[in-house]
Amino acid sequence: LRPPTVIGQFHTLFFGSVRMFFLGVLGFAVYGNEALHFSCDPDKREINLFCYNQFRPITPQVFWALQLVIVLVPGAFFHLCAACKSIKQEDILQKSFYTGFYIFSVFLRIILEAVAFWLQIQLFGFKVNAIYMCDVGALEKKFNITRCMVPEHLEKTIFLIAMYTFTVITVVLCVAEIFETACRRLGFLKTQ
């Protein structure tokens, strides 16, 4: 069962292929070896690991992979229910309950994307600085703050902005999908 709207079908293509390809291929290239090249002064393994864990409580790749999976859940749940009840694509636009259920699943995606957007801001901000000031007071008694070098900070900043952009595009597509579904249901647009 494919989405009942043109925008929904485009969203599935965009979300399913472009975003996942971008994250899988380029995300690994940009963030894949970050922990290995993260170095602090003094350059000791335990300080580097301690500070890296402070710098990245969750790695961006893991966060974005979780975001993709969580955002897919409402649509997957709708399509699973539709498959179990043998709901046809045209039934989604012709029966009020199915239309409402579909719109609710899209609206839930919007909420989940918005929460992920907010969490991404809290975790990563909009810019990756070249220097990270790490509080190592719990690790060593000689000093409390050490400087750490963040590898490829400009590439990471560009990638962050790209991931924010993907989230915004996805939300816009979801809003347009709700609008298109409602217009088709009300007869303002011809059904496919």
Q: Which domains can be identified in the chain, with CATH numbers?
A: 8-187 (1.20.1440.80)
What pLDDT score was predicted for residue 128? 94
Over 60: is that where the pLDDT of 192 sits? Answer: no
In this prediction, residue 143 has a pLDDT band, given cuts at 50, 70 and 90, of low
In this prediction, residue 1 has a pLDDT band, given cuts at 50, 70 and 90, of low
What pLDDT score was predicted for residue 140? 65
Tokens 């971008």 appear where? 22
59-68, 86-95, 147-156: lowest mean pLDDT where? 86-95
Give the residue-averaged pLDDT of 31-45. Answer: 85
What pLDDT score was predicted for residue 76? 87
What pLDDT score was predicted for residue 111? 97
Over 80: is that where the pLDDT of 15 sits? Answer: no
Higher local confidence (pLDDT), 84 or 117: 117
Give the residue-averaged pLDDT of 131-143. Answer: 80
Over 60: is that where the pLDDT of 93 sits? Answer: yes
3-state secondary structure the chain: CCCCCHHHHHHHHHHHHHHHHHHHHHHHHHHCCHHHHCEECCCCHHHHHHHHHHHCCCCHHHHHHHHHHHHHHHHHHHHHHHHHCCCCHHHHHHCHHHHHHHHHHHHHHHHHHHHHHHHHHHHHCCCCCCEEEEECCCCCCCCCEEEEECCCHHHHHHHHHHHHHHHHHHHHHHHHHHHHHHHHHHCCCCCC
In this prediction, residue 172 has a pLDDT band, given cuts at 50, 70 and 90, of very high
pTM of the predicted model, to two decimals? 0.84
